[in-house]
């Protein structure tokens, strides 16, 4: 039997992975205990998505297991063993601000949970491809030292800088910077995944994402930029922009484009490899530009205000350079730009309302 195991399977990237790989594997095992609701409240619950997956895919088997508990994972891995040929580890505590409230919880989910997943994979299915969704926050606030220029609606890097054409590559240092506790716990997980590839020779890939987005995102104030922005545009709820005059820039990669990256890596894996992944120059926007697009799509004037206090360790300008991945996997390309993605999110939210 050919099995793919996906953590965070009812979340944005996890559920897209289930949908994508369901017809490519005999069985999809999903692990998700809906901690997202604990982190961000009822509006962020992923139960709706879990039920949707169970109804849609007959070969999807869900476990409400906790990745922090080895005994929970041991039962699953020992049952399926080497039939597990792909592990996609997306489960995480994903918020800067929330991590500072409960550092033990944040680290146990992001770092210890990742170690548990790696060790279970090594012991039970060492030949499986292991894909990890890391984050650009492993670079801390180093990007904020780049030479940035203030334009009307966004910050932009100086045109003569090496990062102007394609964005920030994997050679940026992760040291000597402020990460936030979330960023620090993800650094620990990121390095562990690399080490299991380099030390044990496992087929591990680290994917350092910018903003990951798409219509299946359960966006909340503390996580899910485009999704939560669109939610506020639709229902008229107040939205707060934190710092940098609302001109901070994020690249946004559609969940389906990211899963397609995983598919290419799975077919030709490497050991301990690291890639920056995001919308790059193809799909990025500032907060103010995102607000404008949401207003255009919904026809509603957004109710938002500005706070001068930026989030600790937050980036002023981030655009991912995907040149390394595209060199290794030249058949891959983006399909979803920002406007298309926001329109999909709008349509999905209206259907769920």
Tell me the pLDDT tens digit for each residue of 150-187. 999 999 999 999 999 999 999 999 999 999 999 999 99
Residue 217 has pLDDT above 80, yes or no: no
Domain around 21: 3-352
Using CA atoms, how far apart are residues 81 and 126, in angstroms rounded to an integer?
9
Q: How many structural domains are present in the chain?
A: 1
174-178, 227-231, 254-258, 331-335: the lowest-pLDDT one: 227-231
Q: Where are the alpha helices (DSSP H) in the chain?
A: 12-21, 35-40, 47-56, 70-80, 96-101, 103-107, 113-124, 180-200, 225-235, 255-267, 287-298, 323-328, 338-352
Looking at the DSSP bridge assignments, the partners of residue 150 are 155
Residue 17 in tokens = 């992975």
Using CA atoms, how far apart are residues 336 and 279, in angstroms rounded to an integer?
9
How far are the Cα atoms of 11, 14, 61, 71 from residue 215, in angstroms, in the given order? 11, 13, 22, 34
Residues 6 or more apart from 247 whose CB is under 8 A from it?
150, 151, 153, 154, 155, 286, 287, 288
Q: What is the mean pLDDT of residues 191-216?
A: 95
pLDDT at 228 (0 to 100): 87
- The CATH number for 232's domain is 3.40.50.720
pLDDT at 177 (0 to 100): 94
Residue 223 has pLDDT above 70, yes or no: no
Looking at the DSSP bridge assignments, the partners of residue 84 are 3
pTM: 0.94
135-144, 204-213, 249-258, 304-313: the lowest-pLDDT one: 304-313
Using CA atoms, how far apart are residues 315 and 142, in angstroms rounded to an integer?
8
How high is the mean pLDDT of the chain? 95
Residue 312 has pLDDT above 80, yes or no: no
Q: What is the mean pLDDT of residues 311-318?
A: 87
φ/ψ of 191, rounded to 5, equals -65, -40
Split at pLDDT 50, 70, 90, the class of 222 is low
Residue that wins the pLDDT comparison between 160 and 40: 160
Q: What is the mean pLDDT of residues 251-276?
A: 97
Q: What is the mean pLDDT of residues 313-342?
A: 96
To 10 degrees, what angle do helices 12-21 and 47-56 make? Answer: 0
Q: What is the mean pLDDT of residues 45-61?
A: 96
């Amino acid at each position: 039997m050919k099995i793919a195991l996906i953590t965070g399977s009812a979340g944005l990237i996890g559920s897209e992975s289930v949908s994508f790989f369901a017809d490519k594997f005999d069985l999809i095992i999903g692990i998700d205990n809906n901690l997202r609701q604990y982190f961000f409240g009822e509006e962020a619950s992923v139960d709706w998505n879990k039920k949707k997956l169970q109804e849609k895919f007959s070969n999807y088997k869900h476990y409400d297991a906790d990745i922090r508990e080895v005994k929970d994972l041991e039962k699953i891995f020992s049952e399926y063993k080497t039939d597990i040929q792909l592990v996609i580890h997306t489960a995480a505590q994903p918020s800067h601000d929330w991590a500072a409230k409960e550092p033990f919880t944040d680290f146990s989910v992001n770092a210890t949970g990742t170690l548990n997943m790696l060790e279970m994979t090594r012991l039970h299915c060492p030949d499986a491809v292991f894909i990890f969704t890391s984050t650009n926050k492993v670079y801390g606030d180093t990007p904020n030292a780049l030479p940035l220029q203030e334009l009307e609606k966004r910050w932009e890097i100086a045109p003569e800088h090496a990062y102007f054409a394609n964005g920030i590559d994997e050679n940026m240092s992760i040291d000597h910077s402020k990460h936030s506790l979330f960023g620090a716990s993800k650094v620990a997980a990121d390095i562990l995944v690399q080490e299991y590839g380099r030390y044990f020779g496992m087929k591990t890939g680290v994917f350092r994402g910018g903003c990951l987005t798409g219509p299946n995102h359960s966006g909340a104030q503390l996580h899910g930029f485009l999704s939560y922005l669109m939610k506020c545009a639709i229902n008229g709820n107040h939205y707060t922009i934190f710092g940098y005059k609302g001109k901070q820039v994020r690249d946004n990669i559609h969940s389906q484009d990211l899963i397609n990256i995983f598919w290419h890596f799975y077919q030709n894996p490497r050991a301990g490899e690291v890639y920056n992944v995001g919308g790059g120059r193809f799909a990025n926007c500032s907060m103010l530009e995102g607000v404008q697009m949401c207003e255009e799509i919904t026809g509603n004037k957004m109710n938002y205000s500005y706070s001068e206090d930026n989030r600790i360790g937050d980036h002023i300008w981030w655009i991912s350079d995907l040149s390394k991945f595209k060199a290794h996997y030249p058949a891959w390309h983006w399909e979803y730009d920002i406007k298309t993605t926001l329109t999909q999110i709008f349509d999905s939210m209206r259907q769920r309302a």
